[in-house]
């Protein structure tokens, strides 16, 4: 009789712990501070804009002596090597042969054409200039295999492509509530939510991402439920052992 009551109370204790622990496991962005909007810019033709503070490399085809980094593997550069220049607070960079040039506000296509004209006037025949931005990143957080900060250089990348770079979502991903957060020109954070479980939603809302975007894929309730069960397993083992001891000595 005593053992039966003990087992009953043990079961009720474990059940109550499990019940009160099963709130949504969502440690980030718990409170909605961003504005949920419908009109996120989503134009794949829009190229990255050079900004003050950006790190850039420059390649001039056939003129490695004038290049800062290069498309050629022998002269390749990235943010870690230090072979880049910074667009200063005036929007200028100091480039070989032509000196200080203002380039902030240009997109990649525009700045390449602009510099090609300048270098041609400075004695380079038919120059082919390629500017690469090293300091543009997108942050991907939450339930993906490889969350982190992704450098996007000059590339145009969509939400689905970025998730692919991160090796996909985890089994705990709440894929019907993916969030993209972006600062507008007034510095206000705007947010859009996307349902990746709906094929129509994916097709319509596969947003072209911008530098400094934050994407967050929250966890489902199942993650917290599984974590709770994992914590309760040793506790249940202890109670089971005690029950066995009581059954042996108090029959």
The size of the chain, in residues, is: 251
**Interstrand relation of 189-194 and 92-95 (parallel, antiparallel or unpaired):** unpaired
The answer to whether 159 touches 138, Cβ cutoff 8 Å, is no
Q: Which pLDDT does position 247 carry in this prediction?
A: 57
**In a 10 Å sphere around its CB, with 0-12 CB exposed, 13-18 middle and 19+ buried, how is residue 80 labelled?**
exposed
How far apart (Å, rounded) are the C-alpha atoms in residues 174 and 195?
A: 9
Residue with tokens 């994407």: 215
Q: Please check the confidence at residue 249 and state whether its pLDDT lies above 70.
A: no
Calculate the average pLDDT of the chain: 78
Burial 229-242 (b: 16+ CB within 10 A, else e): eeebeeeeeebeee
Using DSSP, state whether 187 is helix, strand or coil.
Answer: coil
Q: Which pLDDT does position 20 carry in this prediction?
A: 46
The answer to whether 167 touches 144, Cβ cutoff 8 Å, is yes
Q: Which pLDDT does position 236 carry in this prediction?
A: 53
How far apart (Å, rounded) are the C-alpha atoms in residues 159 and 165?
A: 10
Q: Which pLDDT does position 31 carry in this prediction?
A: 47
Ranking 15-24, 76-85, 110-119 by mean pLDDT, the lowest is 15-24
pLDDT digits (tens, 9 = 90+) for 73-111: 444 455 555 578 999 999 999 999 999 999 999 999 999
pTM, whole model, 2 decimals?
0.68
Q: How many CB atoms lie within 10 A of CB 9?
A: 11
Q: Please check the confidence at residue 232 and state whether its pLDDT lies above 60.
A: no
CB neighbour list of residue 175: distance below 8 Å, 6 or more residues apart:
169, 195, 196, 197, 217
Q: Which pLDDT does position 46 carry in this prediction?
A: 72
- Average pLDDT for residues 128-148, to the nearest whole number? 94
Higher-scoring residue by pLDDT: 29, 95 = 95
- Average pLDDT for residues 150-168, to the nearest whole number? 90
Beta-ladder partners of 31: none
Q: Which pLDDT does position 225 carry in this prediction?
A: 57
| DSSP classification of residue 220 | P
Q: Provide the CA 203 distance to its chain's centre, in angstroms.
A: 20
pLDDT digits (tens, 9 = 90+) for 190-220: 898 889 888 887 777 788 899 999 999 999 8
How far apart (Å, rounded) are the C-alpha atoms in residues 178 and 206?
A: 11
Q: Which pLDDT does position 199 carry in this prediction?
A: 82
């Amino acid at each position: 009789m005593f053992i039966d009551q003990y087992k009953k109370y043990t079961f009720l204790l474990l059940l109550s712990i499990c019940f009160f622990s099963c709130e949504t496991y969502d440690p980030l962005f718990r409170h909605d501070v961003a504005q949920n909007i419908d009109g996120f810019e989503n134009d794949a033709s829009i190229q990255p804009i050079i900004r003050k503070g950006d790190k850039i490399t420059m390649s001039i085809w056939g003129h490695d002596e004038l290049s800062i980094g290069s498309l050629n593997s022998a002269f390749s550069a990235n943010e870690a090597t230090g072979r880049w220049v910074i667009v200063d607070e005036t929007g200028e960079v100091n480039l070989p042969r032509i000196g200080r040039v203002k380039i902030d506000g240009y997109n990649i296509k525009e700045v390449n054409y602009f510099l090609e004209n300048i270098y041609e006037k400075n004695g380079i025949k038919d120059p082919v200039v390629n500017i690469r931005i090293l300091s543009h990143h997108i942050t991907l957080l939450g339930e993906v295999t490889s969350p982190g900060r992704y450098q996007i250089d000059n590339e145009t990348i969509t939400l689905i492509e970025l998730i692919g770079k991160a090796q996909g979502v985890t089994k705990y991903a709440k894929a019907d509530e993916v969030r993209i957060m972006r600062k507008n020109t007034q510095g206000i954070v705007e947010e859009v939510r996307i349902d990746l479980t709906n094929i129509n939603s994916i097709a319509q809302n596969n947003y072209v991402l911008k530098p400094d975007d934050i994407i967050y894929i929250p966890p489902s309730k199942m993650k917290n439920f599984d974590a709770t069960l994992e914590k309760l397993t040793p506790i249940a083992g202890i109670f089971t052992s005690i029950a066995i001891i009581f059954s042996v000595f108090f029959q």
